[in-house]
Amino acid sequence: MVSKINSITTVGVVGAGTIGSSWAAYFLAHGLKVRCWDPLDGYAENVTAFVARAWPIMTELGLADGASLDNLTCHYRITEALDGVQFVQESGPEDAEIKARLMAEIDRDVPEDVVISSSSTALPVSEYQHLAAHPGRIVLGHPFNPPHLMPVVEVGGGKQTETWAVDQAMAFYDAIGKTPIRLRAEIPGHLVNRLQAALYREAVYLVAEGYASVEDIDKAITGGPGLRWAFMGPHMTYHLGGGDGGIRRYLENLGPSQERRWAALGDPKLTDAVKQKIIDGVDAEAHGRTIGELTTDRDATLLKLLKALGSGKD
C-alpha cells in the first residue's frame, strides 16, 4: 500500500467525548479539517466548546499554517461525517462489542486505503476488528490524556492488521508532531497504562498500609522522579545512576538491591476502606479546588512544561 501521509488534509473523529474532542482540537491546530460524529444529542455544542477552551493553549504552542476553528464540522449521520476523510480517529466507548460494530460501520463508509485508528484505552485491536470487511487497516492509536497536549500515542495492530496500516499511522502521527510508540505485540492495557498502573499499585499500597498520606505520595513523585521522567525514562535514568560504568555497572552493583525492592512491593486490594482512604486523601490534597479548576491548572502547567522542553510546534 502506497503511503498517502502527505495528502491527508481531512480527519474523521468518530466519538466526540472528552478524548475525541481533545483529538479534534489537536488536529485542527495542526492545520487539518475535522469532521466529527457522535450519537449523543447535543454533542456538537460540547465538542465546539471544548475546542474553543483549548484553542488559546494550542495557539500559544503554535498553530500550523491554515489552522482554524472554521475547519471543524459536526454531523448527525456517520456517513456524512466520514465523507472525504483520509484518516479516522475512533474514540468510542471502551466496550469491545460496541467498538466492533462501530468499526464495521466506519469500514463500510471509507475507502479501503484509509486507516482507521482507535483510541482504545486497554482493549486489544483483535477484540474489535473482526466484524469489519477490511480488518487489515484497523489499528490502535491510543493517546495519553489529554491528547491535545500529551505527545505520546501508542500505535499497534491486531491479529488481522496489515503492516502498511501501522506504518501509515506511525508516519501520520509523527508528521503532526506526536510521539508515536510502536507496540510489537498486543497486551491488555498496552504500554503506557501498564507502566502507570505498576506505579499506582504501589502508591495505593503505601496509602493502605499507612506509610504516607495521599498528598505526600503525590509530592514524592512530582518532586522526585517525575521531574526526571519528563525528559528521561527509567532505563536512561538508571544508566546515569551507574556513573561512568552506566547501566552495566548499575545492574551489577545495585541489581540485587533493586530485586529486594521488587520483592517488597505490595499487592493492595481496593476494599471499601482503602477506597475511602484514597478519596479522603485526594479531597484533602485538592484543597477545595473543583475538577474544572484542577484541569485548568494541569493544562497551564503542561503548557509551560511543553514549551520548556521544546515540544511546541512552530
Same fold, 5-182 and 192-309: no
Express each pLDDT in 163-183 by its tens digit.
Answer: 999 999 999 999 999 999 999
Q: Is residue 9 over pLDDT 60?
A: yes
Strands 152-157 and 138-143: antiparallel
What CA–CA distance (Å, rounded) separates 279 from 273?
10
Alpha helix ranges (H) inside the chain: 18-29, 43-61, 78-81, 96-109, 163-175, 192-208, 214-222, 225-229, 234-241, 246-264, 272-286, 291-309
End-to-end CA distance of the chain: 31
**Nearby residues of 291 by Cβ (< 8 Å), 6 or more positions away:** none
Express each pLDDT in 35-57 by its tens digit.
Answer: 999 999 999 999 999 999 999 99
Q: Which three cell numbers stand for residue 215?
A: 498528598
CATH dotted code for 5-182: 3.40.50.720
Instruction: For the chain, give every domain's residue range.
Output: 5-182, 192-309
What CA–CA distance (Å, rounded) separates 293 from 291?
5
pTM of structure = 0.91
Categorize the per-residue pLDDT at 311 as very low, low, confident or very high, splitting at 50, 70 and 90: low
Q: Which of 172, 140, 169, 168 is nearest to 156 (CA)?
A: 140
CA distances for 72 relative to 58, 67, 130, 219, 234, angstroms: 15, 10, 31, 39, 39
Q: Does domain 192-309 have CATH number 1.10.1040.10?
A: yes
